[in-house]
């Protein structure tokens, strides 16, 4: 405190010695009436600097996120990733065989085995069909990748139907299920905020909305019968956005022609799946796939609150966000599918909440200034 008092004194002020002489005899080592306001002012200055730093960091990461979004996507049949300046045609069988070097296996599902690989000194993901029994699913996923290329879908780099392989962009942060583990790392603490988490939830809903309104028609994300399985279908990018990665089970719904879907051929259980996905005839009647009613894209809407709850996590501000999303989440959980909102309705509500809460934080910070 001696240093603080000397630094903050002016030429016209008494010295510390004269200040001490004027202290009350019983004051001991307590602060003088001059030192208290100075200390309070210093604390207020530090608080304001922290608030400004918070706003600057949030603006920085928002601009980083937008700067990585390519305003000019490549035409169909071409790709661009990382620091590539020009679009390149999808790699052919010949190029995949000659130019891609397989490094190590990073994951395996029912349909594909994925290898971290290298192409022209760039890390890429090479997927192999696991079994010929799953070839129809593999080819369906490949067709979806080819047809749905956009900011919502992992970038396709090439494929070879002869070898049952496909090549996609590699995202080192991996599956969306790794989110909590990643955000607990010290290097990512600056993005572990309700703003960034809410933006991730909006990314997820944006993907569902894109699938429901895709160029191919209304597609349903069937590989989503529990939360871990659902999260595994998406990748977390280096700029903290989400892209859909596994498109092997995207059946088409057509309301006008009465074409609906069933996700798999086995009985489903639990409250993560929509009520219409459960066996409706009770335990006394054994499950039979032919008797199971079909359903539509509203099963994806039912699951949005649960996925969103995971993405929001349990950090400062996340409960405030949940409170503002309560009504739209309640609507998502309607027992009647037709009464659930569309993905676009939900996305619009999330955007309003994001803007409203962001404006509130900014306003409070400006009032402090």
Nearest to 101 by CA among 121, 81, 128: 121
Nearest to 242 by CA among 65, 106, 122: 65
pLDDT of 256 over the 60 cut: yes
Range with the poorest average pLDDT among 30-39, 171-180, 312-321, 346-355: 30-39
Residue showing tokens 């994925």: 114
Report pLDDT for 72. Answer: 79
pLDDT of 82 over the 90 cut: no
Identify the DSSP state of 119: E
pLDDT of 61 over the 50 cut: no
Q: pLDDT tens for residues 51-60?
A: 555 555 455 4
User: For the whole model, what pTM was predicted?
Assistant: 0.80
Range with the poorest average pLDDT among 7-21, 160-174, 353-367: 7-21
Q: What is the mean pLDDT of residues 345-363?
A: 86
| C-alpha to C-alpha distance for 274 and 216, rounded to whole angstroms | 24
- Phi, then psi, of 83 in degrees rounded to 5: -95, 15
pLDDT of 226 over the 50 cut: yes
pLDDT tier for residue 23 given thresholds of 50, 70 and 90: very low
Nearest to 297 by CA among 228, 216, 197: 216
Identify the DSSP state of 268: B
Report pLDDT for 18. Answer: 47
Q: pLDDT tens for residues 197-223?
A: 999 999 999 999 999 999 999 999 999
Kindly give, in sequence order, each residue whose CB lies less than 8 Å from that of residue 250, ignoring residues fewer than 6 positions away.
140, 141, 144, 211, 219, 220, 221, 222
Q: pLDDT tens for residues 147-189?
A: 999 999 999 999 999 999 999 999 999 999 999 999 999 999 9
Report pLDDT for 366. Answer: 45
**Contact by Cβ (8 Å): 117, 107:** no
Torsion of CA 174, 355, 210, 295, to 10 degrees: 100
**Contact by Cβ (8 Å): 167, 125:** yes
**Contact by Cβ (8 Å): 240, 201:** no
Burial readout 39-76 (b: 16 or more C-beta within 10 A, e: otherwise): eeeeeeeeeeeebeeeeeebeebeeebeeeeeeeebee
Residue showing tokens 């608030």: 51
pLDDT tier for residue 33 given thresholds of 50, 70 and 90: low
**Contact by Cβ (8 Å): 32, 9:** no
pLDDT of 114 over the 70 cut: yes
Q: What is the mean pLDDT of residues 279-284?
A: 93
pLDDT of 8 over the 90 cut: no
Q: What is the mean pLDDT of the chain?
A: 86
For 227, the enclosing helix (H) or strand (E) is helix 227-231
- Phi, then psi, of 148 in degrees rounded to 5: -110, 15
DSSP notation for 185-214: SGGGGGG-SHHHHHHHHHHHHHHHHHHHTB
Q: What is the mean pLDDT of residues 328-356?
A: 98
């Amino acid at each position: 405190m001696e240093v603080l008092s000397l630094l903050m004194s002016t030429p016209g002020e008494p010295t510390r010695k004269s200040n001490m002489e004027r202290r009350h005899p019983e004051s001991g080592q307590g602060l003088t009436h001059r030192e208290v306001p100075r200390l309070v002012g210093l604390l207020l200055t530090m608080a304001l600097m922290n608030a400004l730093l918070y706003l600057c960091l949030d603006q920085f990461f928002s601009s980083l996120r937008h700067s990585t979004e390519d305003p000019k996507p490549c035409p169909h049949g071409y790709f661009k990733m990382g620091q590539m300046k020009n679009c390149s045609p999808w790699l052919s069988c010949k190029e995949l065989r000659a130019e891609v070097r397989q490094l190590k296996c990073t994951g395996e599902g029912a349909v594909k085995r994925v290898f971290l690989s290298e192409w022209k000194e760039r890390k890429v993901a090479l997927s192999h069909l696991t079994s010929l029994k799953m070839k129809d699913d593999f080819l369906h996923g490949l067709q979806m990748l080819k047809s749905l290329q956009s900011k919502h879908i992992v970038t396709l780099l090439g494929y070879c139907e002869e070898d049952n392989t496909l090549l996609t962009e590699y995202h080192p942060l991996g599956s969306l299920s790794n989110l909590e583990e990643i955000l607990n790392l010290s290097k990512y603490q600056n993005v572990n905020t309700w703003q960034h988490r809410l933006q991730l939830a909006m990314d997820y809903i944006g993907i569902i909305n894109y699938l429901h309104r895709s160029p191919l028609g209304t597609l349903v994300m069937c590989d989503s019968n529990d939360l871990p399985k659902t999260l595994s279908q998406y990748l977390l990018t280096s700029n903290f956005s989400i892209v859909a990665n596994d498109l092997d089970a995207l059946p088409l719904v057509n309301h006008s022609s009465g074409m609906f879907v069933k996700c798999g051929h086995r009985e489903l259980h639990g409250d993560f799946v929509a009520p219409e996905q459960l066996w409706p005839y009770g335990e006394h009647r054994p499950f039979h796939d032919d008797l199971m009613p079909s359903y539509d894209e509203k099963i994806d809407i039912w699951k949005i609150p649960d996925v969103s709850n995971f993405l929001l996590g349990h950090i400062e501000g996340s409960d405030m966000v949940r409170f503002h999303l309560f009504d739209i989440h309640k609507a998502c959980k309607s027992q009647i599918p037709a009464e659930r909102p569309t993905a676009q309705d939900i996305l619009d509500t999330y955007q309003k909440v994001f803007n409203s809460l962001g404006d509130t934080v900014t306003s409070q910070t400006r009032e402090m200034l």
